[in-house]
Amino acid sequence: MLGLEPEVLLHHRRVRGEIGFGQLGGVHGGADCIQGLQGVACLHKGGCQTRDCEAKCALDPRGPRPWPCLWMFTARGPRPARRQRQDMQDAADDMALDEVERRSWHEPQAQQCVCCGSHSLSSAPAVLMPFVAERIQGVGKVEIDASWQLQTVPQGHAMHLCQSLVCGECGLLFLDKRFSDGEMARLYGGYRGEAYTAQREHHEPGYRLRNEALAAGTSHIPEVESYLVSQLGRLPVSVLDWGGDTGRNTPFRGKVEDVRIYDISGQDVLPGCRRIGRDEALGGQHELVVLSQVLEHLPYPGRELKKLRECLGPDSRLYVELPLETLMRGPQDQRVAPQSKRHWHEHINFFSAMSLRRLMTRCGLEVLDLRPATLTVEGKEVWIWQLLAKLA
């Protein structure tokens, strides 16, 4: 595993004791303590604190890692100190992104940047908008009045509190709450269907009309196609639109014979494209893979990008389109203040150019082009990021 065979890497939550170490050697001093294995090293914030443990702690000089504890065992006995340190550093580098995104280790609040992994975060209090909170938790907002009989709490509306976070390394502005798979399913289940639309209209009057306009398709697709042809040099032979909904905004629909859509919505696709399942999408290589208006919604965007590597061949290109939010349009070397974002809706990641480059690099992708662009959507000027990448 990770080029460290015959070593065995185990990941361990110190408090919960999720892995039964007794199968590997004697266990003593509780779930946190291991014996009977040679060449044990521990990477853990503050060091190994287990009782009576024979392992010697080798602290990671780069500071806290994104997992509670990483134990490295070798059946061949202790290694030279230099080799041990290099092994631990290599393992940490390889696993940093994977571990922060592991479903089984989901953290409800982000402890580090989801793009670059930095722990250098500034924060400010914010609120989760009632529609999102109600979809996820069943309660959007409540009105506190005299019937609550609260002596020291002012009357008014109570909303779900959260934090706005800004990464000091790459400039990503993001919501601290990282939705679980179940929460994402509740939030996007029946997306833009009648029940979804009615619920959102209740909280956000006027949404139904905006949704109907979106359903008609946007007018910026010719501009996107022009950009892609300028980068590719010609029309692509095959297109996969990952998260492409019905295909209404899929580039080259009707112009390229092989246009495929993968989307969890299950809606019927428009003429000129074909819906495929996840296995088929990940099982083949496509000349152009489109990921449009997706990453801003995801709790762990790197997880999605690493999946998409399976769809790419040596000559494939990945086109990523994202909103360039108003708050992020300043000089790229200037960090926004977390206080500038006081409410959160569906878009939980506001990307800077640096955060996109760092994210792509960590996911094994090489950025070929990244630019801000203005497009005309429903008669309005809209700012977006356009990014083209390939396998590194």
Structural domain total, the chain:
3
Choosing from 211, 239, 269, the residue where a domain stops is: 211
Same domain, 207 and 233: no
pLDDT at 377: 72
Q: Are residues 205 and 332 in the same domain?
A: no
pTM of the model: 0.73
279 and 367 fall within a common domain: yes
Same domain (yes/no): 82, 148: no
CA distances from 46 to 91, 111, 193 (A): 19, 16, 50
Q: Which of 314, 326, 319 is nearest to 292 (CA)?
A: 319
What domain range is 357 assigned to? 217-391
> End of a domain among 196, 211, 226?
211
User: 384 near 373, Cβ under 8 Å?
Assistant: yes
Closest CA to 137 of 161, 112, 107, 153: 161
Predicted confidence at residue 143, as pLDDT, reads 93
The residues, any chain, with a CB within 8 Å of residue 269's CB and separated by 6 or more, are 244, 246, 247, 261, 275
Same domain? For 234 and 337 the reply is yes
pLDDT at 332: 74
In a domain, 106, yes or no: no
Q: 362 and 241 in one domain?
A: yes
Q: Could you say which of 184, 211, 238 is where a domain stops?
A: 211
In a domain, 110, yes or no: no
Same domain, 247 and 290: yes
pLDDT at 88: 56
Strand order in the sheet with 56-57: 8-11, 70-73, 41-43, 56-57
Residue 107 located in a structural domain:
no
> Do 367 and 342 have their domain in common?
yes
- Residues 177, 293: Cα–Cα separation, whole Å: 20
Beta strand pairing status for 258-262 and 288-292? unpaired
Which run of H or E residues covers position 184?
A: helix 181-188
Residue 173 three-state SS? strand
> Is residue 43, in this structure, part of any structural domain at all?
yes
Same domain assignment for residues 205 and 230: no
Residue type, 76: R
Strands 173-175 and 156-167, bridge-based pairing: antiparallel
Q: Cα separations (Å) of 283 from 84, 104, 247, 272, 276? A: 37, 25, 20, 21, 11
**Could you tell me what percentage of the chain is helix, strand and coil, using 3-state DSSP and rounding each to the nearest 5?**
30, 25, 45
131 and 153 both lie in a single domain: yes
Q: What is the pLDDT along the chain (392 residues), one digit of tens a residue?
A: 333 333 233 333 232 233 333 333 333 333 333 333 333 334 343 444 433 333 333 333 444 433 333 333 333 334 444 445 545 554 554 455 555 455 434 568 899 999 999 999 999 999 999 999 999 999 999 999 999 999 999 999 999 999 999 999 999 999 999 999 999 999 998 888 899 999 999 999 999 988 887 766 566 899 999 999 999 999 999 999 999 988 989 999 999 999 999 988 777 899 999 999 999 999 889 999 999 999 999 999 999 999 999 999 999 999 999 999 999 998 877 889 999 999 999 999 999 999 999 999 999 999 999 999 998 776 778 999 999 999 99
| Predicted pLDDT at 271 | 93
Q: In this structure, are 309 and 248 located in the same domain? A: yes
CATH of the domain at 236: 3.40.50.150
Residues 281 and 267: their CA atoms lie apart, in Å, by: 17
In a shared domain, residues 287 and 314: yes
Task: Quote the CA–CA distance of 123 and 248 in Å, as a whole number.
Answer: 38
**Alpha-carbon gap, residue 234 to 213, rounded angstroms:** 31
What is the per-residue pLDDT for 315?
Answer: 95
To which residue do tokens 């980068």 refer?
231
